[in-house]
Structure 1
Amino acid sequence: MSARPSGGLRRSLLGTATVLSCTALLAVAGCTSNTPAPAENAPAQSAPAAGGGSGNDAPGDKVTIGFSAPSADHGWIAAITDNAKKVAAENPDVELKVAAGTNDVNLQISQVETFINDKVDAIVILPFDGAALTTVAKKAMDAGIPVINVDREFSDPNAARVTVLGDNYGMGVSAGQYICTQLQGKTDAVVAEIAGIDSLPLTQDRSKGFKDALSKCGLSVNNRVAADFTVEGGEKATSNLLQAAPKIDAIWNHDDDQGVGVLAAIKNANRSEFMMVGGAGSANAMRDIQSGTGVLKATVIYPSTQGADGIKLARLLVQKKGLGDLPEVEVPRKVQLYAPVVTKDNVDQYLGTAFES
């Protein structure tokens, strides 16, 4: 994720999670001595996968889904809602009721209560505050309406049928492992970190993953500053970092939205002796990586398609389908998405699902 608390605390699929693929599984029947061989060029026979996987993308019974998320006041949150709408539009059996984005906890609670009163079939919610929305989410579950919790967990796991999460610790690990490969054998390398807001668990998780990964190749964080997930905060924190560290070999910036300011500060300081890794996976960061002309060489994905994943999962739940590529009959309780590293070599694979900062 790209995260901001007061502006819509973000955390972190790119595209639709692979676990949501609904490709039918083909079962090939073996011949026995009592079974005649099939005629030459006869069409292959297929069998449905356990869990109703076969044909899961085919339109089914109408599903009405209520959707609520924080205000789209920056790129990652805007993409969450946009991607949810896009997936709903691609499924003719889905009617999506989208509540106005809000950073007012009481208003978001009221929105969920409206969905309950309207007797929607399912609710997909990225709560502004997971703990504050727990009671009303539990109320929906008690009313028989499955809740899909996106990105920010409720304080009671029984308040959601499914939780879709990014991997903040995994982001740090991916960034650290990439830097280790790029600085291989350089044990005296100077590594810097530009974090988000230190009081947030997501920032703490990212930093811990980064530290743990670096330690495995004999490196550590030599210089660290915290910003606030904004362009302005990123520029100010980076300016301070560059003044304090006359030599740097690699920087990990937690968030591509604040990365706009980070890169501005680097340009203003006329520094280019290091490589930089971003976080969240914005389109502008990926285009910069694609050009290969600046210090930004990679970014670590925190999927902005989690809301879209929630819509797909809600549809499957209501229609009593499983995930087409899994033998499991039911949709899982928790889906945690991967944090891949995007470089110039694979950027084309991810750019189409990236968000604009």
Structure 2
Amino acid sequence: MSHATSRRGLLFGGAAVGATALLAACTSNEPAEAKEEKTDAAPAAEESGKHVTIGFAGPQADHGWLNAINVQADERAKKYSDITFEKTEGSNDTATQIGQIDTLINKKVDVLVILPADGKALTQAGLKAMRAGIPVVNLDRIFDTPQAYRCWVGGDNYGMGLNAGHWIGEQLKDKKNAKVIELAGTDSLELTRQRTKGFDDALKNYPNIRKVARQAAEFTVESGQAKMAQLLQAQKSFDACWNHDDDQGVGALQAIEQAGRDGFILVGGAGARSAMDHIKADDGVLKATVLYPPTMAASAIDLARALGQGKGISGLSETEIPTQLSLYSAVVDKDNIDQYLSSGFK
């Protein structure tokens, strides 16, 4: 896919806080001044408007981040009295998810929010909904064509790799012949390739650093442990490792402990609470994680509601919602951990 640049077109700093707070204004009937004084990102029930039925085809909750996506969508929908939330069981199987989307289309929901198991494979499902007159909010894993969605909202995978690379680069900029390794995600997914590209591009700014090894895992604890063990066996010494995913990072930390290795920096990805607890305690090699905020799912519900009610976003896009919203991937380390600790997902 070649959507990485456009996906980075609109960034919200400070992880997802800026995005969700701003999107809250899109469906409010209050003046902007009053909205700014609220601490809750979503409007209260009394601010209800036109009733909207939102269909949600999300992932199977077999991973910490994916479970957090479902929780965020559920909790945001419950905050609105004018939403009927039609949620599928959730699946990482393409054929099953296509069937679930067909069911939601046949129910004639007003808006569809879809986090596809595979963006490319689910593109036709998005196109089918759009052609049926049901606007689609494409969440995270992007479809192959903008014709398959009205709005895309998600994380910045290229930026995630870029920020991880720059953070590691700054830690090692004064070390001669520094070596780094990479524990990537699933290579069949475009998001993994974008994270690697961003990481590699960042390292180009540090001529003293060389990436000496890379292994692709599968976003699971088991795969993280197995692939990290292979990296540790092959690389007798290195200075830093970037791990794309904090769930597989749990396994990676187990492999590191079993091998009795230290003397390097580990940087995680996504922002799991377990990773943040290690960073806060400063009790091992894990020194930072790059956020990929699951609160994007709450933003997707806000956007879907705005679409159904024919509203825009106050102060940003007054009459229509944007076509692209990309959340910033902040690096969380010991210096700013207290700011982000509460956002860590289980």
What TM-score comes out, normalization by structure 2 length? 0.85
Which residue number in structure 1 is paired with residue 138 of structure 2? 149
The one-letter amino acid paired with 2:274 is N
Match of 1:40 in 2: none
> Separation in 1 of the partners of 2:188 and 2:279?
30
Whether the 8 Å contact between 2:25 and 2:313 is mirrored in structure 1 is no
**CA deviation after TM superposition for structure 1 residue 308, in Å:** 1.6
Please identify, of 328-337 and 106-115, the stretch whose mean Cα deviation from structure 2 is larger.
Answer: 106-115
SS in 1 for 2:275: helix
Q: 2:15–2:330: 8 Å Cα contact kept in structure 1?
A: no
Q: Hey, what does 2:9 align to over in structure 1?
A: none
Aligned length: 322
Higher mean C-alpha displacement, 87-96 vs 342-351: 342-351
Stretch moving more, 122-131 or 193-202: 193-202
Partner of 2:93: 104
Partner of residue 314, structure 1: 304
What residue number does 2:113 align with?
124
> Which protein has the larger Cα radius of gyration, Structure 1 or Structure 2?
1
Give 1:327 deviation, angstroms.
4.9
Cα distance in 2 for partners of 1:299, 1:132 equals 30
Aligned partner of 2:340 in structure 1 is 350
Question: What amino acid sits opposite 2:185 in the alignment?
Answer: G
Query: 2:334 & 2:225 partners in 1: Cα distance?
Result: 25
Is the contact between residue 194 and residue 238 of structure 1 (CA under 8 Å) also seen in structure 2?
yes
- For residues 51 and 36 of structure 2, the distance between their equivalents in structure 1, rounded to whole angstroms, comes to 18
| Distance across 2 between alignment mates of 1:47 and 1:224 | 52
AA at the equivalent of 2:253: L
Q: Greater helix percent: which structure? A: 2
1:271 correspondence with 2:290? no
Match of 1:168 in 2: 157
Report the more deviating stretch, 309-318 or 108-117.
Answer: 108-117
Counterpart for residue 232 of structure 1: 222
Counterpart residue identity of residue 111, structure 2: A
Is the Cα–Cα contact under 8 Å of residues 234 and 262 in structure 1 kept in the other structure?
A: yes
Give the structure 2 partner of residue 18 of structure 1: 19
Aligned position for 1:194: 183
Whether the 8 Å contact between 2:58 and 2:70 is mirrored in structure 1 is yes
Gaps of 5+ in 2: 1-13
Q: 1:340 aligns with which of 325, 330, 339?
A: 330
Q: TM-score, normalised by structure 1?
A: 0.83
Contact 1:167–1:336 under 8 Å retained in 2: yes
Q: How far did 1:227 drift? A: 2.2
Task: Go from structure 1 to structure 2 and tell me whether the alpha carbon gap of 1:130 and 1:190 turns closer, same or farther (over 3 Å shift).
Answer: closer
Unaligned runs of 5+ in 1: 1-12, 26-45
CA distance change for structure 1 residues 254 and 92 in 2, over 3 Å: closer, same or farther?
A: same
Cα distance in 2 between the residues matched to 1:24 and 1:85: 19
| CA distance in 1: counterparts of 2:126 and 2:189, whole angstroms | 23
Give the alignment's Cα RMSD to 1 decimal: 2.6
1:205 Cα offset (Å): 1.6
Q: CA deviation at 1:342?
A: 0.8
Partner of 1:209: 198
